[in-house]
Chains A and B, each alone.
Chain A
Amino acid sequence: DQQVKQNSPSLSVQEGRISILNCDYTNSMFDYFLWYKKYPAEGPTFLISISSIKDKNEDGRFTVFLNKSAKHLSLHIVPSQPGDSAVYFCAASPLRTSGSRLTFGEGTQLTVNP
């Protein structure tokens, strides 16, 4: 029973265009959501997060949108750069408990073509 799902295993976009990565969750107790980025042979690194009291959080080229009623969040990268090519993991946690309660999606491989 996978509570966080990233239904697109891969996404390919042109440099300069927008990348939109999607994530769906089923557990209504999830209260805090994060995106991590992972390069090959490295560990995931934190990218951006959002609390359930917000519907949008922006950090430079990265924006996360949360639609609680649809149990859906998305990560927008504008403009996309070749260095953004990586696997992106969505993660969710109930009530800001700790990293012990993070549930990760299976990741989406983003490829940004020059």
Chain B
Amino acid sequence: DTAVSQTPKYLVTQMGNDKSIKCEQNLGHDTMYWYKQDSKKFLKIMFSYNNKELIINETVPNRFSPKSPDKAHLNLHINSLELGDSAVYFCASSQAGAEKLFFGSGTQLSVL
């Protein structure tokens, strides 16, 4: 019974394509996040949503557009993929105002 699930696990695509990563949590949390783990292994916040409302957008190109149809889902759509977008993307959730995050297993995105 996976708490935070994201799909796909691996995504290989060509430059210029548009792709989406889906995320769902069944923990009843109010807040969901997208994190990016770059080649240097740092985990950096991209977006944070609280009850479907965007609350954080950290200097992410506008080619990245999160969408939250309800508080259990936060999808990430990426337009015009670039080589530098290759990374592991993690979805996470938490209770509102809490630092204890529950992460999905990650999506390895490779842009060729």
Contacts and interface: CB of A to CB of B under 8 A. Distances in A.
Contact of B48 (A41, A91, A99): A99
A99 B33 contact: yes
Given A43-B105, A45-B103, A99-B92, A104 B42 contact: yes
A99 B106 contact: no
Contacts of B41: 87, 106-107
Given A41-B105, A42-B105, A43-B105, A98 B99 contact: yes
A99 B31 CA distance: 9
Given A46-B101, A106-B40, 18 more contacts: A41-B9, A41-B105, A42-B106, A44-B103, A46-B100, A46-B102, A93-B99, A96-B99, A97-B97, A98-B48, A98-B96, A99-B98, A99-B101, A100-B31, A100-B55, A102-B101, A104-B44, A106-B42
Contacts of A98: 31, 48, 94, 96-99
Interface residues of B, number: 27
B12 interface: no
Nearest to B100: A46
A34 interface: yes
Contact of B92 (A43, A49, A97): A43
B106 A41 contact: yes
Interface in A31-74: 32, 34, 36, 41-46, 49
A102 B44 CA distance: 8
B45 interface: yes
B99 A99 contact: yes
7 contacts: A43-B103, A49-B99, A91-B43, A98-B31, A98-B99, A101-B99, A107-B41
Nearest to A2: B42
A87 B55 CA distance: 29
Nearest to A45: B103
B56 interface: yes
Contacts of B55: 100
A89 interface: yes
A91 B40 CA distance: 16
